[in-house]
Amino acid sequence: MRCRRVLGVTGSRRPGTCDAPVNGGRVRAGRDLQLIVNASIPITDLGRMAYDRAFALQGETHQRVIAGREHGAASIGEILLVEHDPVITISNRAGAEANLLATPALLERHGVAVARTDRGGDITYHGPGQLVAYPILDLNVLNLGLHDYMRLLEESVLRTCAHFGVETMRDPTATGVWTVREGSPVAKIAAMGVRVRRWVSMHGLALNVATNLDHFNLIVPCGLVGRPVTSLQKELGASAPSFAQAREAFVPILLELLDEALQTATQRRAMSP
């Protein structure tokens, strides 16, 4: 396990550095972009980045994973982590654009951009204080169907929130992760939206750590009328984790779930005639 700098990609981070163990490796966060290699899953921390630039990098990574498969060097894939500049992303789903409530003038006043995207889902907001993970994974290698993959992403957030003492749950009627009150989902703390092409995933999840929740008032989040959003900061107040602490908790949880999926896939292949 080793860390090395990714060349040819630029990003910026908040000042300061931190180290956190990840399955025997180290996550190094600072102003320089870093690649953390865990087993065969590289994790690139893009830092703070505009959505369009990160979307282009997703496409490049997706092509790289497919090329590896075609050249006999199939891998699990790669994971991109990012904190976006304020942006509203709108999918190609019919009617999604109608869930943009703000006028161009209001968006400009708030400093929020708008971008089209090819992920699943409807409309959502990304911005500072939100941990976004884009796993670019070969689902064939992991032997995961789309449903199982989405549940894996949700599980990574459920466990991360539990790590910080926030009780969350799935909502069988709406993809994502929700806080709980009296056994019922209350407010969405993480949104999910993916695209799978040639069985390699793109896009992923967004966990609200210390996000400006007022910006969600510019839209109907995920097209779900009357469903509020929340964040770790709103739920925990002064005891909420920093963005770095949330990232350092989330990464090993996601890697552990992917390790489990790979082990299960390997065992099933070994048992096949």
Render the burial of 158-168: b for 16+ CB within 10 Å, e for the rest: bbbbeebebeb
If one counts every other C-beta atom within 10 angstroms of the C-beta of residue 252, the result is 20
CB distance 255 to 152 below 8 Å:
no
Q: Is 3 a catalytic residue?
A: no
CB distance 106 to 100 below 8 Å:
no
Task: Say how many CA atoms lie within 13 Å of 98 toward its Cβ.
Answer: 6
CA distance linking residue 64 with residue 238, whole number of Å: 42
If one counts every other C-beta atom within 10 angstroms of the C-beta of residue 28, the result is 16
Q: Residue 110: enclosing H or E segment and its boundaries?
A: helix 104-110
Query: Which one is catalytic: 3, 18, 161, 222?
Result: 222
CB distance 113 to 150 below 8 Å:
no
Task: Say how many CA atoms lie within 13 Å of 193 toward its Cβ.
Answer: 21
Active-site positions read 222
